[in-house]
Structure 1
Amino acid sequence: MFLYITLGTNDLDRAMRFYDPVMATLGLDRARTLEGEIGYAAPGDSRCRLWVTRPFDGRPATVGNGSMPALVAATRAAVDAFHAAALAHGGSDEGAPGLRPFGPSFYACYVRDPDGNKLSAVCEGGAEG
Structure 2
Amino acid sequence: MLLYVTLGSNDLAQSSRFYDAALKTLGIERRVTEEDEIGYAHPSDTRCRLWVLKPYDGKEASFGNGSMVTLEAPSRAAVQAFYAAALANGGTDEGAPGLRPFHEHFYACYVRDPDGNKLSAVCEIPA
Structure 1 partner of 2:81: 81
Structure 1 partner of 2:72: 72
Deviation at 1:35, TM superposition (A): 2.3
Deviation at 1:126, TM superposition (A): 0.8
Counting only pairs closer than 5 Å after superposition, residues 21-60 of structure 1 correspond to structure 2 as 21-60=21-60
Q: Deviations over 1:11-33 (max 9, x none)?
A: 00010010001000000000111
User: Structure 1 runs of 4+ off > 4 angstroms?
Assistant: none
- Partner of 2:21, secondary structure, is helix
TM-score, normalised by the number of residues in structure 1: 0.97
Structure 2 partner of 1:61: 61
* Structure 2 Cα separation of the partners of residues 71 and 45 of structure 1: 14
Counterpart code for 1:90? G
CA RMSD of aligned residues (A): 0.6
* Structure 2 Cα separation of the partners of residues 55 and 7 of structure 1: 9
Structure 2 partner of 1:109: 109
Deviation at 1:122, TM superposition (A): 0.2
* Structure 2 Cα separation of the partners of residues 84 and 44 of structure 1: 25
Overall identity of the aligned pairs, in %: 68
Gaps of 5+ in 1: none
Structure 1 partner of 2:92: 92
Deviation at 1:46, TM superposition (A): 1.7
Count how many residue pairs are aligned between Structure 1 and Structure 2. 127
Gaps of 5+ in 2: none
Q: Deviations over 1:59-79 (max 9, x none)?
A: 000011100010000000000
